[in-house]
Structures are given as structure tokens and as C-alpha cells.
Structure 1
């Protein structure tokens, strides 16, 4: 087990007292070119880039500097079974997670994430959201939106941070204890304080390992495909349609439920405006989702068919506010 933080974290940093109980597990990725603590193991990312460039996110100078030494960082982590990346609203804190996750690896990657606060600006919020838009390769995620705390009447910012810290101190040991029990891709449910699988699939189905014959090559190949996220789909014909369907499964999103509800309301409006008989059961799925599923597609296909029966000049199409689902 390894706990990875950066020297740029707002909530998760080398001075966080919660980490003292896990001293031997902590690795601090120093993004600014120098060692920041002697208390924990450090990985120093040299500052190579100079001049103008993106200030945050993928492609920024700091991100590119870390990507240049990604092999060395991977070498420090590759023998760990489980790695949890502790991140917060600063996009910089996501860089080690993002770079390691996108490499071919065998480790179980776990993510603790919190979005930026609204007071930090839309640009930071947008970049942070983009970096979390693809959860492929992640074994589990604990997502805590601390924005709600800002609604309380605090005397100062320090009191606000203290409340957030106390909550983290309560949740973190439970998250750590649960990681070893996670079998399938899961998310940490803050209500029940347990890990809940993202889908009803077994561990064997989650990673498809098959040996199949290639018709255009006189050989067999051993391929492993992760179903959560984008994968390289071979051009040759695969005999098992079920496996291909699983490979094409859509990626779970943190804002998936919001997207699902927005699109469902839109379908109701469309049916009502065109006097189409339409029934839709409220989704009972618990957990992160892609925002749409086979049931959603079936409802959309039904409405499309019914709408096609109405003359175009009489069809009424409600407006869809894209800002609601972005």
C-alpha cells in the first residue's frame, strides 16, 4: 500500500496530521523541484520548463515536467498492490494520479478527490472536472464535495478548514480499511460509509482476459481489456459478442446522476409537448454512472419513433440547456 500526495495540495499536504499515523506509507511528490519534508519519503520532480505555457492542467509546465520523469515515479510505485492518491481542489494535486493512471500498470489505483470551491474560479473548476472526466483504470473513488461547508457561517477560513479536516479525520481510516476488501470497481458511499461496486459484475468479468485466434495472423494473442473507460478495440472480428458489448460500456462519471436526471426531465417535456404517452420509472441505480444507459436509450428510441409519426411542422422540441449537464 502506498499513499501519494503532492506538495501542492490544499487539504492533503505533508503537514496534514492525519498522515502521521501512516508515516511509512506516504510518498510526497514534490512538484516544485525541491524536497519539502524529511518526515516522509519524497519524489522530487525537477523544474525543467521555463517561459510561457498553460498554468494548470494537462499540458501545463508542471504537468509536463512530471510527465518527463514519469518512468522514475512509476518505478517507485510499481511493486505496490494498492495506491491511493489523495487529491483536492488544486488541479496540481491530480497530476501524479493522472499520469500514473494513464500508463499501462498492474496496480490497484484508488482516488480520493474533492472539487475546487466556487470561490476559486471557473477556470480551476473546469480543469479539475476535465481531469476527472475519465475514471478508467481506477479501482475505487472517494469523492467528497466540501463546497457544502461554505454555506455555514464561519468566523474565518481557518474555522472552515478545521471542520473539513475533522470530517476527513473521521472518514479516512474507514476508507483505508476498506481498500483491501474492494474487489470490483467501486465508489465510497458517504452515507453508509462503505464501498459500493459500480456495477453488478464479477472480478473475472471486470478484466477480460482471452486468448483468441487472429484470422489475418497465424498466431494467438493474449489480450487484457479493462471495461471501465476507453480501450483500443481490435479491428479483427471477435467471436464473443458479449465481451465486445462489455468493452464498449460507457465510462462512469462523477456527475452522471445529474446528467441522467436532466435528460430524463427533457424526455418528459418532449412527450408532454407532443401529447405522447410516456412512462418512466425513476432510476434505482446507486453509484456513479455514465449519465445514460440501455434503459435511457430505450426511452429515447421510443420517443424518437413516436415523434416520427407526427408531421414535422407539428413537432414541438423543448430547449435543452446544455449548461445544466456540463
Structure 2
């Protein structure tokens, strides 16, 4: 197994103390063009291009420099069965992952990812999102949405990073241990703290399953996970061969409570618009969750049954604004 980081990462960089225990597994891709550390094995990406050009993302100068030596990086990694790419909100931390993933390879690629903070700018967020737009070919993913930390009242950015780092330190050994025994494509569930194999159902089944949540379903099918209703998190697209399949698993989110409230509000509106008698008690669960549970499912099934008694041309659906959970 190999763990790949860059020298530019905000949290995953050679100075991260979490990595010291795994010293023999670490490969630092040095995007700055010089050896970043003597503590870990390094792969130096030479600076070949200078002058004007894109500053980040696919097609940027640094990305193109790494692309030019991609064969050398691949040869360094190709003997490994499992490669874990540790990435964070810095788009450049994704370059090694993105370049290797898009090559013909025989190793299992595992990805740890978190988004940029919203205050870091739209360009940074766009570049990051582009490289996570297609996760086909990835064996597993651990996605931690760090945006929710911004709601806390931190005195400075260092305190925020410290809290995120502490959470990473708790999760990281579990992620590493889970990779060894993994057989199927999986995601890391933040509630159970285990890897869960990805199940797949057809688009037709998914639409039927999500009837109670969404009126204009086709718009969302190709760019979201379907998770007992629709939850907007980084998409896990299928290869062309499996394009008719979509991923169907509950994924824990740090903002799960917000999603829960949004879906519950939607169910109330749906019942009201269709004159359906509907009662619901507020969920008292505290902590990261999927945003839906068995109680939500029972309410959804009840509404779906009641809707089926109404002629389709008379059924009414409120708009589900997923931007509220972004």
C-alpha cells in the first residue's frame, strides 16, 4: 500500500503529525519543484512551464508539469495493490490522484477528499469540483464535508484547522484498516465509521423509490447520489458500461440534520398541497447522520401510498431546493 500526499496540501502535507506512524507508506509529490522533506519518500515534479496561464485546476501550469512526468509517477506506484490519495481543499492536492486515475492502471485507488472552504473563492471551488466530477474507477472514497465547521465561532483560521485535524486524526486509522479487507467499491460511512459496499439499482427503481421527494427527478439522476431521497453531495459517476446504474447507499453527512429538516418540510408541503392528512414528530437525533432514517422512510411510504390514490394529473409536488444544503 502507498499513501500519496502533496507538499501543497492545507492539511495533508509532510508536516502533518498523523502521517508519522505511516512513514514507510508515504510518497510526497513535490509540486513546488524541490524536495519538500527528508522524512518521507519524495517524487519531485520539475517546473517546466513559466509565465501566464491558469493558476489552478486541470490545465494549470503545475498540473501540466505533473502531467509531463505522469509516466514516471505511475511507474513508481504501479507495483502497489492499493493507493490512498489524501487530498483536501487545495485543488493541487488532487493533481496526483486525477492524473493517475485517468490512466490505465491495475491498482486499487482510494480517495480521501474534502471541499475548499466557501470563503476561499469560487474559482478554487470550481477547480476542485471539476476533478471530483467523475469518480468512476475509484475503489473507495472517504468524503468529509468540512464546510459545517464554519458555523462554529472560531477566533482564527488556525483554531478551525485544529478542530478539523483532530477529527481527521480520529478517522484516519479506521480508514487505513478498512482498506486492507475491502472487496467491493465502498464509501466510508461517518456514523458507523466503517466502509460500506456500494449497492446499485436501476434508474427506474431509483425514480420509484424517490417519488415521495422529488417531482422533476430526471434532472438530478445523473449528478447526485440517490440516498433515500435526493442529497446533493459529490457525484460518483458510473463508467459508460454501467451508466444505467446509480449508487444507492445512505451516506453520513456532517450537515445531516439540515437535510432531515429540509426533507421533513418537503413532506409537510407535499401533504398540504394534496390535501393528505399527515402527522410527523421532529427527530431528536444529534450528530452526523445521513439526513434520513427509517422514520423518514415510513412517512415517505405513507405519502407515496396516499399519492397513488390521487389521479396523476391532479398530483402536486412542491419544489425541493437542494441549494439550501450546499
Q: TM-score, normalised by structure 2?
A: 0.68
**Cα pair 2:29 2:45 within 8 Å, conserved:** yes
Structure-2 separation of matches of 1:174 and 1:255: 16
User: In the TM superposition, what are the counterparts of 1:69-88 in structure 2 within 5 Å?
Assistant: 69-88=69-88
The alpha carbon displacement at 1:106 in A equals: 0.9
The alpha carbon displacement at 1:114 in A equals: 0.9
Correspondence for 2:245: 249
Correspondence for 2:215: none
Structure-2 separation of matches of 1:67 and 1:45: 9
User: In the TM superposition, what are the counterparts of 1:223-302 in structure 2 within 5 Å?
Assistant: 229-232=237-240, 246=242, 248-250=244-246
User: In the TM superposition, what are the counterparts of 1:184-199 in structure 2 within 5 Å?
Assistant: 184-199=184-199
Correspondence for 2:47: 47
**Cα pair 1:5 1:87 within 8 Å, conserved:** yes
Change (3 A) 1:321 1:177: closer
**Cα pair 1:109 1:137 within 8 Å, conserved:** yes
The alpha carbon displacement at 1:123 in A equals: 2.0
Q: How big is each residue's C-alpha offset from its partner over 1:119-169, in whole Å with a ceiling of 9 and x where there is no partner?
A: 212221222122112111111111112222232233332222222222211
> What's the secondary structure of 1:138's corresponding residue?
coil
Structure-2 separation of matches of 1:63 and 1:264: 43
Q: How big is each residue's C-alpha offset from its partner over 1:245-274, in whole Å with a ceiling of 9 and x where there is no partner?
A: x45324689999999x99999899789768
| Structure 2 residue 87 is matched with structure 1 residue 91 | no
Correspondence for 1:34: 34
**Cα pair 2:133 2:237 within 8 Å, conserved:** no
**Cα pair 1:137 1:229 within 8 Å, conserved:** no
| Structure 2 residue 156 is matched with structure 1 residue 156 | yes
User: In the TM superposition, what are the counterparts of 1:165-204 in structure 2 within 5 Å?
Assistant: 165-199=165-199
Q: Which moved more, 1:82-91 or 1:122-131?
A: 122-131
Q: How big is each residue's C-alpha offset from its partner over 1:185-206, in whole Å with a ceiling of 9 and x where there is no partner?
A: 11111111111111169xxxxx
> What's the secondary structure of 2:245's corresponding residue?
coil
Correspondence for 1:143: 143
Correspondence for 2:224: none
Change (3 A) 1:308 1:195: closer
Correspondence for 1:60: 60
Change (3 A) 1:109 1:269: same
Q: How big is each residue's C-alpha offset from its partner over 1:220-244, in whole Å with a ceiling of 9 and x where there is no partner?
A: xxxxxxxx745455xxxxxxxxxxx
**Cα pair 2:7 2:29 within 8 Å, conserved:** yes
> What's the secondary structure of 2:32's corresponding residue?
coil
Long gaps (5+) in structure 1: 202-227, 234-245, 277-285, 288-302
Change (3 A) 1:108 1:90: same
Correspondence for 1:292: none
**Cα pair 1:90 1:116 within 8 Å, conserved:** yes
**Cα pair 1:7 1:31 within 8 Å, conserved:** yes
**Cα pair 1:5 1:28 within 8 Å, conserved:** yes
> What's the secondary structure of 2:199's corresponding residue?
coil
Q: TM-score, normalised by structure 1?
A: 0.68
The alpha carbon displacement at 1:57 in A equals: 1.0
Change (3 A) 1:75 1:159: same
Long gaps (5+) in structure 2: 202-235, 277-288, 291-306
Structure-1 separation of matches of 2:323 and 2:147: 19
